[in-house]
Amino acid sequence: MSLPTQGFAFRVDAVDGNARSGLLETPRASIETPAFMPVGTQASVKGLTPDEVTSTGARIILANTYHLWLRPGAESVAAHGGVVGFMSWPHALLTDSGGYQVFSLAKHRIIDDDGITFRSHLDGTLHRLTPEEAMRVQALLGSDIAMVLDECPPGAASRAEVELAMARTTAWAERCLATEPARGQARFGIVQGGTELDLRLSHLETIAALDFDGIALGGFSVGEPSAQMYHLLDQITPRMPKDRPRYLMGVGTPTDLLRALSSGVDLFDCVLPTRNARNGQALTWGGRVNLKQARHRDDESALDSRCDCSACTGYSRAYLRHLFKADEMLGPRLLSLHNLHFYGALMRKAREMIRLGELRPWVEATLMQMHELDEVGLSDE
Protein backbone atom coordinates (compact mmCIF):
# COMPACT_ATOMS: atom_id res chain seq x y z
CA MET A 1 0.00 0.00 0.00
CA SER A 2 1.32 3.44 -0.89
CA LEU A 3 2.22 5.67 2.04
CA PRO A 4 1.11 9.31 2.23
CA THR A 5 4.62 10.66 1.67
CA GLN A 6 5.75 10.74 -1.95
CA GLY A 7 8.57 8.30 -2.67
CA PHE A 8 7.61 5.86 0.10
CA ALA A 9 5.82 2.55 -0.06
CA PHE A 10 5.44 -0.37 2.29
CA ARG A 11 4.10 -3.82 1.61
CA VAL A 12 3.88 -7.11 3.47
CA ASP A 13 4.91 -10.08 1.34
CA ALA A 14 4.61 -12.96 3.81
CA VAL A 15 3.05 -13.63 7.20
CA ASP A 16 3.87 -16.40 9.66
CA GLY A 17 1.76 -16.15 12.81
CA ASN A 18 2.08 -12.50 13.78
CA ALA A 19 5.49 -12.10 12.12
CA ARG A 20 5.74 -10.35 8.74
CA SER A 21 8.27 -10.10 5.98
CA GLY A 22 7.99 -7.15 3.64
CA LEU A 23 9.61 -4.28 1.82
CA LEU A 24 9.93 -0.62 2.80
CA GLU A 25 10.76 1.71 -0.08
CA THR A 26 12.27 5.13 0.57
CA PRO A 27 13.66 7.63 -1.93
CA ARG A 28 17.17 6.30 -1.22
CA ALA A 29 16.80 2.58 -0.55
CA SER A 30 14.72 -0.58 -0.64
CA ILE A 31 14.74 -2.15 2.83
CA GLU A 32 13.67 -5.73 3.37
CA THR A 33 11.87 -6.14 6.67
CA PRO A 34 12.21 -7.13 9.43
CA ALA A 35 15.40 -5.08 9.49
CA PHE A 36 17.94 -3.85 12.02
CA MET A 37 19.18 -0.25 11.75
CA PRO A 38 22.77 0.31 12.97
CA VAL A 39 23.09 3.43 15.11
CA GLY A 40 25.23 6.25 13.70
CA THR A 41 24.78 8.66 16.59
CA GLN A 42 27.03 11.48 15.37
CA ALA A 43 26.85 10.73 11.62
CA SER A 44 29.15 7.76 12.19
CA VAL A 45 28.57 4.11 13.04
CA LYS A 46 31.41 4.02 15.54
CA GLY A 47 34.65 2.70 14.08
CA LEU A 48 33.24 1.64 10.70
CA THR A 49 33.18 3.17 7.23
CA PRO A 50 29.91 3.40 5.29
CA ASP A 51 31.17 0.67 2.95
CA GLU A 52 31.78 -1.62 5.92
CA VAL A 53 28.31 -0.92 7.29
CA THR A 54 26.82 -1.62 3.86
CA SER A 55 28.64 -4.97 3.78
CA THR A 56 26.61 -6.10 6.80
CA GLY A 57 23.43 -5.86 4.74
CA ALA A 58 22.22 -2.62 6.34
CA ARG A 59 20.32 -0.31 4.01
CA ILE A 60 19.14 2.15 6.66
CA ILE A 61 20.88 3.59 9.70
CA LEU A 62 19.84 5.91 12.52
CA ALA A 63 21.41 9.27 13.37
CA ASN A 64 20.88 11.30 16.52
CA THR A 65 19.19 14.67 16.21
CA TYR A 66 20.24 15.93 19.65
CA HIS A 67 23.97 15.37 19.10
CA LEU A 68 24.07 16.70 15.53
CA TRP A 69 21.96 19.73 16.46
CA LEU A 70 24.46 20.68 19.16
CA ARG A 71 27.56 19.69 17.17
CA PRO A 72 28.36 20.60 14.42
CA GLY A 73 24.89 22.17 14.04
CA ALA A 74 21.97 21.31 11.76
CA GLU A 75 22.72 24.15 9.35
CA SER A 76 26.32 22.98 8.98
CA VAL A 77 25.17 19.42 8.24
CA ALA A 78 22.63 20.72 5.72
CA ALA A 79 25.37 22.68 3.93
CA HIS A 80 27.17 19.39 3.31
CA GLY A 81 24.18 17.62 1.80
CA GLY A 82 22.50 16.49 5.00
CA VAL A 83 23.70 13.56 7.06
CA VAL A 84 23.94 11.22 4.07
CA GLY A 85 26.13 13.67 2.17
CA PHE A 86 28.16 14.64 5.22
CA MET A 87 29.11 11.05 6.09
CA SER A 88 28.93 9.60 2.55
CA TRP A 89 26.23 7.10 3.46
CA PRO A 90 24.60 5.95 0.19
CA HIS A 91 21.39 4.45 1.61
CA ALA A 92 18.42 5.44 3.77
CA LEU A 93 18.50 7.34 7.07
CA LEU A 94 16.16 7.64 10.05
CA THR A 95 16.62 10.42 12.60
CA ASP A 96 15.22 10.45 16.12
CA SER A 97 13.71 13.65 17.49
CA GLY A 98 16.36 14.27 20.15
CA GLY A 99 13.84 14.08 22.97
CA TYR A 100 15.21 10.94 24.61
CA GLN A 101 18.72 12.40 24.74
CA VAL A 102 17.40 15.61 26.28
CA PHE A 103 15.86 13.55 29.06
CA SER A 104 18.91 11.32 29.54
CA LEU A 105 21.88 13.62 28.84
CA ALA A 106 20.94 17.28 29.17
CA LYS A 107 21.64 19.26 32.30
CA HIS A 108 18.95 21.14 34.23
CA ARG A 109 16.05 20.38 31.87
CA ILE A 110 12.61 21.89 32.38
CA ILE A 111 9.64 20.38 30.58
CA ASP A 112 6.29 22.04 29.99
CA ASP A 113 3.42 21.48 27.60
CA ASP A 114 5.08 23.60 24.91
CA GLY A 115 8.47 21.87 24.91
CA ILE A 116 11.72 21.37 26.82
CA THR A 117 14.31 23.91 27.94
CA PHE A 118 17.70 22.40 28.74
CA ARG A 119 21.41 23.05 28.98
CA SER A 120 23.77 21.23 26.64
CA HIS A 121 25.85 18.45 28.14
CA LEU A 122 28.73 19.75 25.99
CA ASP A 123 29.09 23.37 27.10
CA GLY A 124 26.11 24.26 29.28
CA THR A 125 24.51 26.54 26.67
CA LEU A 126 20.74 26.97 26.88
CA HIS A 127 18.48 25.41 24.23
CA ARG A 128 14.77 25.02 23.61
CA LEU A 129 13.36 21.91 21.93
CA THR A 130 9.77 22.02 20.73
CA PRO A 131 7.92 19.77 18.27
CA GLU A 132 8.37 22.41 15.59
CA GLU A 133 12.11 22.73 16.26
CA ALA A 134 12.55 18.95 16.24
CA MET A 135 10.99 18.76 12.78
CA ARG A 136 12.95 21.78 11.52
CA VAL A 137 16.25 20.24 12.61
CA GLN A 138 15.40 16.87 11.10
CA ALA A 139 14.47 18.56 7.83
CA LEU A 140 17.94 20.13 7.76
CA LEU A 141 19.53 16.76 8.57
CA GLY A 142 17.76 15.40 5.49
CA SER A 143 16.62 12.01 6.77
CA ASP A 144 14.27 9.71 4.91
CA ILE A 145 12.28 9.16 8.11
CA ALA A 146 11.84 11.71 10.92
CA MET A 147 10.53 10.81 14.37
CA VAL A 148 8.12 13.05 16.24
CA LEU A 149 9.08 14.61 19.55
CA ASP A 150 7.71 12.54 22.42
CA GLU A 151 8.03 12.33 26.17
CA CYS A 152 9.46 9.02 27.34
CA PRO A 153 8.64 8.49 31.02
CA PRO A 154 11.20 6.66 33.18
CA GLY A 155 10.69 3.00 33.92
CA ALA A 156 9.65 3.70 37.51
CA ALA A 157 7.08 6.36 36.57
CA SER A 158 3.66 6.24 38.20
CA ARG A 159 0.51 5.69 36.16
CA ALA A 160 -0.32 9.39 36.48
CA GLU A 161 3.12 10.34 35.16
CA VAL A 162 2.75 7.91 32.25
CA GLU A 163 -0.66 9.36 31.39
CA LEU A 164 0.78 12.89 31.40
CA ALA A 165 3.60 11.76 29.08
CA MET A 166 1.03 10.18 26.75
CA ALA A 167 -1.03 13.37 26.61
CA ARG A 168 2.05 15.46 25.84
CA THR A 169 3.24 12.96 23.24
CA THR A 170 -0.14 13.13 21.50
CA ALA A 171 -0.24 16.93 21.52
CA TRP A 172 3.33 17.12 20.28
CA ALA A 173 2.62 14.54 17.57
CA GLU A 174 -0.22 16.67 16.25
CA ARG A 175 2.05 19.73 16.24
CA CYS A 176 4.76 17.80 14.39
CA LEU A 177 2.26 16.83 11.71
CA ALA A 178 1.08 20.43 11.45
CA THR A 179 4.57 21.62 10.45
CA GLU A 180 5.41 21.95 6.78
CA PRO A 181 6.87 18.56 5.80
CA ALA A 182 10.35 18.36 4.36
CA ARG A 183 10.29 17.21 0.76
CA GLY A 184 10.43 13.42 0.55
CA GLN A 185 10.67 12.95 4.34
CA ALA A 186 8.30 10.48 6.02
CA ARG A 187 7.21 10.94 9.62
CA PHE A 188 6.61 8.27 12.25
CA GLY A 189 4.44 8.63 15.33
CA ILE A 190 5.40 7.16 18.72
CA VAL A 191 3.24 5.18 21.13
CA GLN A 192 3.90 5.52 24.86
CA GLY A 193 2.10 3.99 27.84
CA GLY A 194 4.77 2.41 30.01
CA THR A 195 4.03 -1.17 31.05
CA GLU A 196 0.26 -0.62 31.35
CA LEU A 197 -1.42 -2.61 28.57
CA ASP A 198 -4.62 -0.59 28.63
CA LEU A 199 -2.68 2.67 28.33
CA ARG A 200 -0.55 1.29 25.51
CA LEU A 201 -3.58 0.16 23.52
CA SER A 202 -5.39 3.44 24.14
CA HIS A 203 -2.40 5.48 22.99
CA LEU A 204 -1.88 3.22 19.99
CA GLU A 205 -5.44 3.90 18.88
CA THR A 206 -4.85 7.65 19.21
CA ILE A 207 -1.52 7.74 17.34
CA ALA A 208 -2.62 5.28 14.65
CA ALA A 209 -5.56 7.56 13.83
CA LEU A 210 -3.13 10.33 12.84
CA ASP A 211 -1.65 10.64 9.37
CA PHE A 212 1.76 9.08 10.06
CA ASP A 213 3.75 7.02 7.57
CA GLY A 214 4.73 4.52 10.28
CA ILE A 215 4.15 3.79 13.95
CA ALA A 216 6.86 3.30 16.58
CA LEU A 217 6.76 1.86 20.07
CA GLY A 218 8.80 3.97 22.48
CA GLY A 219 9.53 3.62 26.17
CA PHE A 220 10.54 -0.04 26.18
CA SER A 221 13.76 -1.52 27.57
CA VAL A 222 13.90 1.17 30.27
CA GLY A 223 14.20 -1.18 33.20
CA GLU A 224 11.19 -3.48 32.94
CA PRO A 225 11.84 -7.27 32.91
CA SER A 226 12.34 -8.69 29.43
CA ALA A 227 9.51 -11.18 29.89
CA GLN A 228 7.13 -8.31 30.62
CA MET A 229 8.20 -6.49 27.47
CA TYR A 230 7.72 -9.63 25.36
CA HIS A 231 4.24 -10.16 26.82
CA LEU A 232 3.24 -6.57 26.07
CA LEU A 233 4.61 -6.74 22.54
CA ASP A 234 2.62 -9.91 21.90
CA GLN A 235 -0.54 -8.02 22.90
CA ILE A 236 0.23 -4.67 21.25
CA THR A 237 2.09 -5.27 18.00
CA PRO A 238 -0.60 -7.34 16.23
CA ARG A 239 -3.04 -4.47 16.86
CA MET A 240 -0.80 -1.92 15.10
CA PRO A 241 -1.84 -0.84 11.58
CA LYS A 242 -1.12 -3.62 9.12
CA ASP A 243 -0.44 -1.26 6.20
CA ARG A 244 2.32 0.74 7.91
CA PRO A 245 5.80 -0.21 9.16
CA ARG A 246 6.13 -0.98 12.88
CA TYR A 247 9.26 0.21 14.66
CA LEU A 248 10.44 -0.84 18.14
CA MET A 249 12.80 1.88 19.37
CA GLY A 250 16.10 1.19 21.14
CA VAL A 251 15.74 -2.59 21.48
CA GLY A 252 17.87 -4.77 21.71
CA THR A 253 19.61 -8.07 22.23
CA PRO A 254 19.40 -10.94 19.72
CA THR A 255 16.72 -12.49 21.94
CA ASP A 256 14.79 -9.20 21.99
CA LEU A 257 14.87 -9.01 18.20
CA LEU A 258 13.69 -12.57 17.65
CA ARG A 259 10.89 -12.29 20.21
CA ALA A 260 9.76 -8.89 18.93
CA LEU A 261 9.79 -9.75 15.23
CA SER A 262 7.76 -12.84 16.12
CA SER A 263 5.11 -10.45 17.45
CA GLY A 264 5.10 -8.47 14.20
CA VAL A 265 7.75 -5.74 14.58
CA ASP A 266 9.39 -4.63 11.30
CA LEU A 267 12.21 -2.25 12.30
CA PHE A 268 14.74 -2.15 15.14
CA ASP A 269 17.68 -0.05 16.29
CA CYS A 270 20.05 -0.37 19.24
CA VAL A 271 23.59 0.65 20.21
CA LEU A 272 24.18 -2.77 21.78
CA PRO A 273 26.07 -4.55 18.93
CA THR A 274 28.67 -1.80 18.54
CA ARG A 275 28.81 -0.83 22.22
CA ASN A 276 29.33 -4.43 23.31
CA ALA A 277 31.94 -4.87 20.60
CA ARG A 278 33.98 -2.01 22.03
CA ASN A 279 33.97 -3.87 25.34
CA GLY A 280 35.21 -7.13 23.81
CA GLN A 281 31.89 -8.93 23.56
CA ALA A 282 30.95 -10.73 20.35
CA LEU A 283 27.39 -11.80 19.54
CA THR A 284 27.38 -15.12 17.70
CA TRP A 285 25.10 -17.98 16.67
CA GLY A 286 26.51 -19.86 19.65
CA GLY A 287 25.80 -17.12 22.18
CA ARG A 288 27.76 -14.16 23.53
CA VAL A 289 31.55 -14.50 23.62
CA ASN A 290 33.72 -12.43 25.94
CA LEU A 291 37.06 -12.24 24.14
CA LYS A 292 38.81 -10.89 27.21
CA GLN A 293 38.47 -14.24 28.92
CA ALA A 294 41.63 -16.30 29.39
CA ARG A 295 40.05 -19.34 27.71
CA HIS A 296 40.62 -17.63 24.32
CA ARG A 297 44.35 -16.94 24.83
CA ASP A 298 45.52 -19.86 22.65
CA ASP A 299 42.31 -20.54 20.73
CA GLU A 300 43.08 -20.71 17.00
CA SER A 301 39.43 -21.25 16.01
CA ALA A 302 37.30 -18.65 14.27
CA LEU A 303 35.10 -16.38 16.34
CA ASP A 304 32.00 -17.83 14.64
CA SER A 305 32.30 -20.56 12.00
CA ARG A 306 28.90 -19.60 10.55
CA CYS A 307 29.91 -15.99 9.87
CA ASP A 308 31.69 -14.77 6.74
CA CYS A 309 32.79 -11.35 8.02
CA SER A 310 36.50 -10.48 7.92
CA ALA A 311 36.86 -10.90 11.70
CA CYS A 312 35.69 -14.51 11.43
CA THR A 313 37.37 -15.49 8.16
CA GLY A 314 40.71 -13.77 8.72
CA TYR A 315 41.59 -13.98 12.41
CA SER A 316 41.60 -16.38 15.35
CA ARG A 317 39.98 -15.85 18.73
CA ALA A 318 43.49 -15.75 20.19
CA TYR A 319 44.46 -12.84 17.94
CA LEU A 320 41.22 -10.95 18.57
CA ARG A 321 41.74 -11.37 22.32
CA HIS A 322 45.30 -10.08 21.96
CA LEU A 323 44.02 -6.92 20.25
CA PHE A 324 41.78 -6.12 23.22
CA LYS A 325 44.44 -6.94 25.81
CA ALA A 326 46.92 -4.73 23.93
CA ASP A 327 44.31 -1.95 23.63
CA GLU A 328 44.64 -1.94 19.83
CA MET A 329 41.86 -0.07 18.01
CA LEU A 330 41.59 -2.86 15.43
CA GLY A 331 39.91 -5.07 18.04
CA PRO A 332 36.79 -2.93 18.54
CA ARG A 333 36.62 -2.27 14.80
CA LEU A 334 36.65 -5.95 13.87
CA LEU A 335 34.16 -6.89 16.58
CA SER A 336 31.82 -4.04 15.61
CA LEU A 337 31.92 -5.27 12.03
CA HIS A 338 31.25 -8.84 13.16
CA ASN A 339 28.35 -7.95 15.47
CA LEU A 340 26.59 -5.96 12.75
CA HIS A 341 27.21 -8.79 10.27
CA PHE A 342 25.61 -11.16 12.77
CA TYR A 343 22.58 -8.89 13.23
CA GLY A 344 22.22 -8.61 9.46
CA ALA A 345 22.42 -12.40 9.08
CA LEU A 346 19.90 -12.86 11.91
CA MET A 347 17.41 -10.62 10.11
CA ARG A 348 17.98 -12.30 6.73
CA LYS A 349 17.42 -15.75 8.21
CA ALA A 350 14.29 -14.57 10.03
CA ARG A 351 12.88 -13.18 6.77
CA GLU A 352 13.59 -16.51 5.09
CA MET A 353 11.89 -18.48 7.86
CA ILE A 354 8.83 -16.22 7.74
CA ARG A 355 8.51 -16.80 4.00
CA LEU A 356 8.80 -20.56 4.57
CA GLY A 357 6.30 -20.51 7.42
CA GLU A 358 8.88 -22.00 9.78
CA LEU A 359 9.74 -19.05 12.00
CA ARG A 360 8.60 -20.33 15.39
CA PRO A 361 10.63 -23.59 15.53
CA TRP A 362 13.67 -21.79 14.10
CA VAL A 363 13.44 -19.02 16.73
CA GLU A 364 13.15 -21.53 19.58
CA ALA A 365 16.06 -23.63 18.31
CA THR A 366 18.23 -20.55 17.73
CA LEU A 367 17.56 -19.13 21.19
CA MET A 368 18.28 -22.48 22.81
CA GLN A 369 21.62 -22.73 21.02
CA MET A 370 22.60 -19.18 21.93
CA HIS A 371 21.71 -19.54 25.60
CA GLU A 372 23.34 -22.93 26.07
CA LEU A 373 26.76 -21.58 25.10
CA ASP A 374 26.43 -18.04 26.41
CA GLU A 375 29.58 -16.93 28.24
CA VAL A 376 28.21 -13.77 29.87
CA GLY A 377 28.90 -13.62 33.59
CA LEU A 378 32.10 -15.65 33.45
CA SER A 379 35.22 -13.96 34.81
CA ASP A 380 37.76 -12.35 32.50
CA GLU A 381 40.65 -14.43 33.72
Q: Does 231 map to a domain? A: yes
* Statement: residue 356 has pLDDT above 90: yes
User: Among residues 268, 237, 266, which one has the least CA distance to residue 251?
Assistant: 268
Q: Does 161 map to a domain? A: yes
Q: Does 153 map to a domain? A: yes
Residues 78 and 204 in one domain: yes
Residues 74 and 214 in one domain: yes
State residue 374's pLDDT score: 63
Residues 266 and 295 in one domain: no
Q: Does 2 map to a domain? A: no
pTM: 0.96
Residues 196 and 293 in one domain: no
Question: Annotated catalytic, 269?
Answer: yes
pLDDT tens for residues 174-220?
999 999 999 999 999 999 999 999 999 999 999 999 999 999 999 99
Residues 256 and 125 in one domain: yes
Question: Annotated catalytic, 308?
Answer: no
| Containing structural domain, residue 62 | 34-270
Type and span of the H or E element at 163: helix 159-178
Overall number of domains in the chain: 2
Give me the CATH number covering residue 115.
3.20.20.105
Residues 347 and 238 in one domain: no
Residues 102 and 216 in one domain: yes
Burial of residue 58 (number of CB atoms within 10 Å: 0-12, 13-18, 19+)? buried
The catalytic position among 150, 213, 256, 269 is 269
- DSSP for 352-372? HHHHHT-HHHHHHHHHHHHHH
pLDDT tens for residues 219-260?
999 989 999 999 999 999 999 999 999 999 999 999 999 999
Domain boundary among 270, 302, 332: 270
What is the Cα–Cα distance from 190 to 362, expressed in whole angstroms? 30
At CB < 8 A and 24+ separation, what contacts does 73-76 make?
A: 74/136, 74/137, 74/140, 74/141, 75/140
Mean pLDDT of 331-356: 98
Residues 231 and 298 in one domain: no
Q: Does 22 map to a domain? A: no
Residues 291 and 258 in one domain: no
State residue 4's pLDDT score: 64
pLDDT tier, 264 (very low <50, low <70, confident <90, very high otherwise): very high
pLDDT tier, 375 (very low <50, low <70, confident <90, very high otherwise): low
pLDDT tier, 380 (very low <50, low <70, confident <90, very high otherwise): very low
What is the Cα–Cα distance from 273 to 38, expressed in whole angstroms? 8
* Statement: residue 280 has pLDDT above 70: yes
For the chain, the average pLDDT equals 95
Residues 178 and 78 in one domain: yes
Q: Does 102 map to a domain? A: yes
What is the Cα–Cα distance from 258 to 345, expressed in whole angstroms? 12
Q: Does 53 map to a domain? A: yes
The SS3 assignment for 121 reads coil
The catalytic position among 16, 96, 256, 304 is 96
Residues 72 and 140 in one domain: yes
What is the Cα–Cα distance from 162 to 145, expressed in whole angstroms? 26
Domain boundary among 220, 246, 270: 270
Helix-helix angle 330-356:254-263, to 10 degrees: 30
Q: Does 87 map to a domain? A: yes
Domain boundary among 270, 297, 325: 270
Residues 188 and 265 in one domain: yes
Amino acid symbol at 317: R
* Statement: residue 377 has pLDDT above 70: no
